[in-house]
Structure 1
């Protein structure tokens, strides 16, 4: 999901959220993400067969002005001026709605989608930056009856960081979401017809993806409550199994036989508890050694996994923005 070439006004830039922008021919990329008070940043060289991480930084900040200062210093120190840069949103930055197919003409689809989600957001529709991608058609459904994943973010919030990036000298070329970064990561293992589940644990929410043949079929957020660990992961496992059943019933594919988990904390505990409650093999996600050696990946840390996933940029499959 990309943003097209910036217009002069920042709102015009944000309005074209996630659509494609032409890049200079370079294999060097930056990618960043933000939480409430933390900025994660990587700079890498991504060739067709290998990823070389040249810089990885996690920096604390208090205000948007701090972000501008931090990035300006980083850009100057590392000579990153005009390096193509992606911004990976955090779950708090956007909402994702799965919407059943809308019975309208293709040229009317976006307007119909805006009308459909206006009651689902708690701010004015004019403040909503909206894009979407289609999921594969369910078994037995007509080709034009695919479910839509609508991504909605608030323009004024996006505007703040877009301005900061503009001022520090980076070239913002893409805004993306974790669901598609996760899809890029599982695609590296999907050279067969098996289905894959990938659950990424944030502090307060987990994102479940189900993919097959490098295509995103289903995604869902699972809220993480204040239960103790065993109760929490037992409930999460029940939710996962329920979504597995939905996937199997709607697309008629076998349940995922590859199950990956990732988290910045306690990933081994998560793996053990989910394996126990799902009665299935669960493994922490690792990049294939051919792309980045396991020792290098462990040194880099899980902290940057989704940023790496974004830079993989697999966009030839169903889960992509409209043309």
Structure 2
């Protein structure tokens, strides 16, 4: 999933995310054969605080520190910079899909479709399922936002190869954890809020946002009960709706991405019908070169860019 993609370069992906508080980055090298049991290696990671106005300088700094010219580089958008919607797939050839989706979006997004950069991600249908149930994810961002991001990387002298979204970064991690023939739900939190995804056979089927930030999840004990009740209720409703819509996808469990403590995991384990696992990214990645990422709090900070770094180097979408 990318708004665009350039030709392949050299050694793994350098994924960056430029937010209001600074820039986070990680370099990830995937094994040639992911089924061989070799973990993707994290070669470097950094987080530099700063304002949005300082982003180009921070990206340039990371580009020098990590020798960006030796890697493919992607930038992961932050919530608010794009809209993600689900709609019925237009009955058109694949080559015409983006254009047809654009016309469907004209009454669904809060800016003119002619001012939008659009990409489309397929949601697979059930084997022998009716064609009218075919849906797609549509990603729309203002042209001005995409152009400003491109200009930021030009100013930083970092060659940007792809633009991603956090939902796809989370899918990339979830896909590595799926039990054979079963779907996987994953819940992650960062400073922008919560994100629930469901993947099956490496594809994204569900992406739902929660207006609850990581700082709230691990906030004062006296505030947690009501917040955790709300999270559990939203999870239950979302997963129940998913099961009704995708009856052919059996969700095996919920995986909770690192938050820095185990309190939410303990609560969800006691209150959800699904098994709940607390993810340690050390089981997914080789952290030998960045051992500080074995810490759960650090994993929470770098979760999105680590997922962004898991792009398939041969993929163009």
TM-score using structure 2 length: 0.82
CA separation in 2, counterparts of 1:176 and 1:200? Answer: 17
Whether 1:188 aligns to 2:176 is: yes
**Displacement, 1:55?**
2.6
Deviations 1:9-57 (A, max 9, x none): xxxxxxxxx2332112x22331101221221012344443344433321
Residue of structure 2 aligned with 1:237, choices 232, 238, 246: 232
Q: What residue number does 2:309 align with?
A: 311
Whether 1:30 aligns to 2:14 is: yes
CA contact (8 A) 2:200 2:249 kept: no
Deviations 1:46-81 (A, max 9, x none): 4433444333211122243x2222232333344433
Deviations 1:196-250 (A, max 9, x none): 1001113453211111222222222223398942222222222222222222222
- The size of the alignment, in residue pairs, is 301
Q: What residue number does 2:220 align with?
A: none
Q: What residue number does 1:13 align with?
A: none
Structure 2 vs 1, CA of residues 144 and 208 (structure 1 numbering), >3 Å: closer, same or farther?
Answer: same
CA separation in 1, counterparts of 2:18 and 2:166? Answer: 12
SS at the partner of 2:251?
Answer: coil
What CA RMSD, in Å, does the superposition of the two structures yield over aligned residues? 3.0
TM-score using structure 1 length: 0.81
CA contact (8 A) 2:17 2:75 kept: yes
SS at the partner of 1:92?
Answer: coil
CA separation in 2, counterparts of 1:200 and 1:223? Answer: 12
Q: What 5-or-longer segments of structure 1 have no aligned partner? A: 3-17
In the TM superposition, 1:209-220 aligns within 5 A as: 209-220=197-208
**Displacement, 1:260?**
0.9
CA contact (8 A) 1:82 1:171 kept: no
SS at the partner of 1:234?
Answer: helix
CA contact (8 A) 2:253 2:274 kept: no
Deviations 1:260-313 (A, max 9, x none): 1125x4542221222232144322222364742599341453311221212222
SS at the partner of 1:93?
Answer: coil
Residue of structure 2 aligned with 1:283, choices 254, 274, 277: 277
Larger RCO, structure (CA 8 Å, separation 6 or more): 2
**Displacement, 1:193?**
1.6
**Displacement, 1:168?**
2.0
CA contact (8 A) 2:89 2:101 kept: no
